[in-house]
Each structure stands twice: as structure tokens, then as C-alpha cells.
Amino acid sequence: MAQASAAQGDTANYRWWGRDLFAFLLRRKGGKRLTLADVITYLFLILGTVVMFFPVLWLVMSSFKPITTLYQTPPTFFPYHPVTAQVPGYPEPLPLVDVRQEDGSLKRMARVGRIIGVEARVIDLEAPSEPPRRVRIENITPVQEIRFDLSNYTNAIDRFPFGVYLRNSVVITLSATALTLLINSMAAYALSKYRFRGRNTIFLLILSALMVPLSVIMIPVFLVISRVGLAGNLLGVIIPPAATPTGVFLLRQYMLTIPDELIEAARIDGATEWRIYWRIVMPLAAPALAVLAIFSFMWRWNDFLWPLIVLGGRSDLATLQLGLQSFQGELNVQWDSLLAMTVLSLLPVVFVFGILQKYITTGIASTGLKG
Amino acid sequence: MEITTSRRLTFSLARGVQQLLSLPLMGALYLLDAVIGSIERLIGHKRMPYLFVLPNMAIFAIFILLPLLLNFFFAFTGGTSIIPENRPWVGLGNFERLFACQDITNVSTCREDVFFFAVRNTFLFVIVEVPSMVVLAMLIALALNRDIRLRGFFRSAFFFPVLLSPVVVALVWKWMLQTRGGLINTLLGFFGIAPIEFVLDGNWMMFWSIFVSVWAQVGFYALILLAGLQGIPPVLYEAAEIDGASELQRFWKVTLPMLRPTLLVVLVLSLIRGVQMFDHVYVLTGGGPGTATVLTVQYIYRTAFEPPNNWGMAAAVSLMLAAVLAMLTVIQLILNRRQTEAL
């Protein structure tokens, strides 16, 4: 009797905790009660989050799967690897299987040789010297374990010139970003802090460049690039895209807020114009420069059409994106290595976003800059 | 005691390495400083702004303005050489060839039937993609604008694909769509549907191209709309509430009219991007199966950069695409001006 009431108390307690947890998770910020609209909002957002995250998570999980379970239907979420054991008398480790015995019980054994038709050959682990027994394949299940194995990654690095792609991507991204920051800020400084003949024309020209997408000028661009000797050259991917109109615009708007008095004071003290730019305006524009640096990094790292046109089929100059594209376009796609390379190529972006997401989202919301 | 000494040692070591590494950089900067300083003495203060805008403008002139003009030259010349001297003048020949059809009602009889397929595919793509994008972005923005928990997390969740490269996005979904071991087919299997060979079905691949493009970009537009929603003065909602307007009425009478300028910008922006769609679809489908998902920009790329390198015809298509984009841009500019006037 006492026991029963204690149990009842437990369930009541449990129910109370459950309700509390539920209320905590779903309570609105103001502490008001949850309405139907709130429930629908949460369902919509949770469903959306799953649709956005799961494909990438699936890719990452798949990249740890061995080729033997990669194409398995139905696939598993976690990366399963076959468990093997060293058996005396056999040079290679043998895959372990659970074999259904005649009495219905399972016995762990090792499989030898190939599966022929519907039969496999297994040996007893306790008596490895005995000749293998034949069993029907529906009576065996391979023994598997979850393991985050890096062999796809090491294979990808061995089998493909991953290092070359990575080097090219890093060189392009870093030098193009440095160049973007330098020349965009120089132009922005001139356009925001000087009055000179032709200033408005130049500003309009830069803004109109925003409206000329590469897709409509790619043929003459290729001609110009090859004429100045930049086709099949990393400089051809670094220099032309560095003069981003978005960057000039963003920095100019920011530099307009720097008080002119500072610049005047420096000028009276005898500073050269270059010194003023380099020593006064640049440090003050640091927040805007940081935002542009993040964006330039993303643009250049993810670029596809421009390197494709400029670098053509030169595999020794290809960036990570071009390398991925060329391997996925092959007749016999080696998904095990390709998945690992894809994960490696998205790591830097995820890393940067993870640290700087606040700046990125506010930067986009306030300026609408992308690509 | 010992710990602090070793720590201090490591610290000074790290600083030494840092200084050593930054030495060449600092040297380069001092050199630049000296060079530009002497140029400034040479040309005088008054001309310095021209020097400041020079690098950026030179790159613009060479790699954007010059190609813009050269595009016309390419469109009206023929041959397979990219060198201008070797290209004969053909007048409207490239356009005539593009529109050479035996029977105007049947695209398959046209000489360049792939061009018409590409235009039709692009049209289909844009007609479905843009409205889905705007509606979904609007729903996401509205949900994120509500007084909810974990708002920052949800915002990042919708936004992060924007930062992934098109190649990675396409590979993520190509892997999802595999017939053997693909997740989509596995999910269909739960409902008793037999696996579908998506890659072999043109209609399916068009659907997935649109889906992937929306998946990758919707967060960007949602963010712009969210900023627009947050710009609506709360006073308007308070006034509507006092007047007894229901939540639905408040949406139709306050939110939508106030958000209209932002919505129009998003609409035109996604139109401009949709018409130019290339990389996501190119990596996902390669234009296939057959020509089912060849879009205009891919047609330009194929015609120009794959043998027999018909630069002229590709440039002719570029010109027509540029005209469409220019039209859309003018619309956007008008809308933008109206938006700034309204504020």
C-alpha cells in the first residue's frame, strides 16, 4: 500500500517535471502563454532547421563510412565498419559474422573467401584449423561497429592532388583579400575625403560595375586575360576580382563617418596624404575593413566561374572548387574520397562562420552584399 | 615560480616568432610608404586622389569596361579564333544562325535547338524558383521576427548554406539523390515508394535544380526581409491593436504595405540572380540528362569554351542576356529610388 502511493507520487512528480520542461522550452520570451501561432512557428522553424542541416550532416557522416557500407541500402546514419579478427592460419584479418545456428541461437564466426551465389564459408573461431563450413547468406549478419575512421581522408589526400588544390585556394584567397582591402580602401578614401574633378563620374562607374555580371562578359574577359598573359596563371584569379565595387561602396560609406577635422589636423602637422590614409583613416576604418575581409575570404574561397574560365583545364593550378568539380564529373565517381574532400573544403567556411556569424549576418542585413 | 618563468619564456618566444614573421610584411609596407611618399612629392597633394583611385579603376577599365565593349565586337564577328585580328565581320550572322528555324512553331527544327532549350529551361527555372524563393523567405523572416526562443540559432540555421560554395552545395545534394544509398530514396522507401533514378529523369532534375537553388539562397533573402520587418515602427502595430485589428488584419494592413519596397527589391534581385543561374545547376546536373537542365549561362559557356569554340554566337547570346538583365536592373533602380523617396 505504502509502496503503491510512493509510485503514484513518482509519476505525479515525473508529470510535473515533464510539464515544467515543456513549458520552459516553449514558453514565450515575455512569459505569456503559448498560442497556436507560436506552436506553428516552432514546428516550421524546426522542420526548416532539419531540412537545412541534415543534408550537410549526412555528407559528413557518410565521409567516415568505408566503401563497403557507403552504398548500402538502406543506408545507416552512423558510419558502420565491419569488425575483423586475426585468425591463426589466415594471413589477412577476417570479417566477423553472426551465424544463425540450427537451434536458432547466434554464434560469432569468421567469414573466409568470397560469397559464392547464396552461400558463404565460415570458420569456427574456437577451432580455426577445421575446414570452413558452408552456410546460406540469409543466416549470417556481418558484425559492425560505429567508428569515425579517417581512412577516406587519408586516401583522398594520397590519391588526389589535394595539397596542390588547397595551396592554390589558400594563395588565391589570402592574396586576393589583401589586395582587395588595399585598393578598395584607397579608392574609398579618395571618394569619401577629397573633392576632385571627376569624382562623381568615377563613383558612378564603380557602382555601375556592380550591375555587370561575369556571366555576360566572360568571352571578352577571357580574351583580355589571355592578352595580358594572365590565362592559366594564378594572378589572373587574384587581380581582376580584387577590385570589388561592393567593397569600395561599403568602405566609402563607413569612411564618410570619420570626422574631417582629424584629417585636417594631421595635414597641418605636415603629414603626407599617404600617411594620413595609412596611419589615420585605415585604423579608424578597421571595423568596415574586417567585414570586407570576411566577405572577400568567402567570395574568393567559393569562387567557381572565374577560376574555371581563367585557369581552364590546368589541373596543377586548380582550386579546391575546380578540383571537386572535375572529380565529381568523372564517369566513375569515387564518392568515398570525394565526400572527404568536400568536407575538408567546407571546414574553413564553417570555422569562419562559427566565429564571426554575428558580423556576417548584420553585415548582410545592413548592406545586402553578396558575391 | 618555475612555471611563471617558463611561461614568460614561451610568451617572449612566441612574440619573437611573431615579430620575425611580420618583418618581411613590415618591410614591404615601409617600402610602399617610401615609394608612394616620393610619388606624392613628385605629383603634389592635389593629384593624390587620382593616385588613390588608380589601381581600382585600372582593373575596372581593363577587366570590366573594356570587355563590355568587346562583347559587341565578338557578337558581330565569326570564326573560331579568339584573336580579334583573325575574326571576320559577319554582321547579324550570329543572330541569324541562332534564330534559323525551318518551322518557327517547332523548336527541334531550329539549327541551334539547344539555345531554345536553354532559354526555355531558364524561363521555367525562373518562373518556379523566384516565387518559391520569395514566399519561403517571407515565411522564414516572419517566423524569425516573432518573439521566440533560440532566434539566433534558427537564423543561422537558415542562413549558413548561403556561405557554402555552389560546388559543395551541389555535391551535398548529389549525394542525397543517389539511387544506391541516397537519403531521399531511403525516405521514399519508408513510404513504400520504389527508388527513383533521379539523374535519368529530366523533370526530376529540373525540380531538384530549383530546390537546391532555393535551399542555398533562401537564407540570404530571408535576412534582408527580416531587416525590413524590424524596420517597421512598432507604433503602427500598437495603433492597429488599439483600433481592434486582428493579427491577420495587422499583417495585411500594416506588415505587407510597409514591407512592399523590400519585397520588391528581393523579388527583382532573385529574378536577376535566377536568370544568371549557373554553378549550382552546372555541378548538380551538368545540364543533363540530355539538355533538360541546360540554362542560358551554361549554354554560353559551352558554346564558347568547348570545341568548336563558337565565340561569336556565345557573345551574341551574352548580349541578349545582358539586355534582359539591364531591363531588370533598371526596374530595380526605379524601385530603389521609390523606396528611398518613401522613407
**Residues A225-251 pLDDT 10s:** 988 888 888 999 999 988 888 889 889
Q: Is B13 left (phi over 0), alpha (psi -120 to 50) or beta?
A: alpha
Could you tell me if A190 and A262 lie in one domain? Answer: yes
Q: Which of A142, A174, A191 is the last residue of a domain?
A: A142
Could you tell me if A39 and A161 lie in one domain? Answer: no
pLDDT of residue B199 exceeding 70: yes
pLDDT (0 to 100) of residue A107: 81
Interface check for A305 against chain B (CB to CB < 8 A): the answer is yes
**Residues B61-117 pLDDT 10s:** 999 889 989 999 888 888 777 787 778 888 887 888 888 777 777 777 778 888 889
pLDDT (0 to 100) of residue B215: 96
Query: Residue A104: which CATH number?
Result: 2.30.30
Domain assignment present for residue A70? The answer is: no
pLDDT of residue B206 exceeding 70: yes
Whether residue B168 and residue A342 make contact (CB cut-off 8 A), yes or no, is: yes
The percentage of residues in chain A with a pLDDT greater than 70, rounded to a whole number, is 87
Could you tell me if A195 and A124 lie in one domain? Answer: no
- What confidence tier does A16 reach under pLDDT thresholds 50, 70, 90? low
Domain assignment present for residue A274? The answer is: yes
**Residues B265-282 pLDDT 10s:** 888 889 989 999 999 999
The percentage of residues in chain A with a pLDDT greater than 90, rounded to a whole number, is 19
- What confidence tier does A363 reach under pLDDT thresholds 50, 70, 90? low
Interface check for A296 against chain B (CB to CB < 8 A): the answer is no
What interhelical angle do A286-302 and B166-176 show, nearest 10?
50
Dihedral angle of Cα A360, A365, A367, A368, to the nearest 10 degrees: 100
Whether residue B321 and residue A368 make contact (CB cut-off 8 A), yes or no, is: no
**Residues A178-205 pLDDT 10s:** 999 999 999 999 999 888 888 889 988 8
B96-342 CATH fold: MetI-like fold (1.10.3720)
Could you tell me if A217 and A174 lie in one domain? Answer: yes
Query: Residue A162: which CATH number?
Result: 1.10.3720.10
Q: Which of A29, A62, A95 is the last residue of a domain?
A: A62
A54, exposed or middle or buried, with CB in 10 Å at 0-12, 13-18, 19+? middle
pLDDT (0 to 100) of residue A172: 93
Q: What is the mean pLDDT of residues A73-89?
A: 81
pLDDT (0 to 100) of residue B333: 76
What is this model's ipTM? 0.81
Could you tell me if A26 and A47 lie in one domain? Answer: yes
Q: What is the mean pLDDT of residues A49-71?
A: 89
Least CB–CB distance from B283: residue in A48, A325, A352: A325
Mutate to test the interface with B, among A215, A276, A292, A355 (most CBs of B within 10 A): A215
Could you tell me if A214 and A265 lie in one domain? Answer: yes
Domain assignment present for residue A355? The answer is: yes
Contact A352, A359 (CB under 8 A): no
Could you tell me if A345 and A314 lie in one domain? Answer: yes
Listed by number, the residues of chain A in 243-272 with a beta carbon closer than 8 Å to a beta carbon of chain B are 243, 245, 248, 272
Q: How many domains does chain A have?
A: 3
Q: Which domain holds residue A330?
A: 154-367
> What residue spans define the domains of chain B?
2-65, 96-342
Could you tell me if A136 and A159 lie in one domain? Answer: no
pLDDT (0 to 100) of residue A32: 61
**Residues A308-327 pLDDT 10s:** 999 987 888 899 999 888 88
Could you tell me if A26 and A165 lie in one domain? Answer: no
Alpha-carbon distance A310 to B102, whole Å?
A: 38
Least CB–CB distance from B168: residue in A187, A211, A345: A345
Q: Is pLDDT larger for residue B8 or for residue B47?
A: B47
Domain assignment present for residue A298? The answer is: yes
Cα four-point dihedral sign B218, B224, B228, B231: positive
Domain assignment present for residue A185? The answer is: yes
- Measured between CA atoms, the residue of chain B closest to residue A187 is B53
**Pairing label, strands A106-116, A119-124:** antiparallel
Could you tell me if A241 and A175 lie in one domain? Answer: yes
Instruction: Name the residue among B173, B286, B283, B298 with its Cα closest to residue A323.
Output: B283
Contact B167, A324 (CB under 8 A): yes
Helix or strand or coil: residue A75? coil
pLDDT of residue A97 exceeding 90: no
- What confidence tier does A133 reach under pLDDT thresholds 50, 70, 90? confident
Alpha-carbon distance A271 to B40, whole Å?
A: 11
CB atoms within 10 A of CB B114: 18
Domain assignment present for residue A207? The answer is: yes
**Residues A254-305 pLDDT 10s:** 899 888 888 889 889 888 888 889 888 998 988 888 888 888 988 899 999 9
Weakest mean pLDDT among A9-23, A127-141, B172-186: A9-23
pLDDT of residue B48 exceeding 50: yes
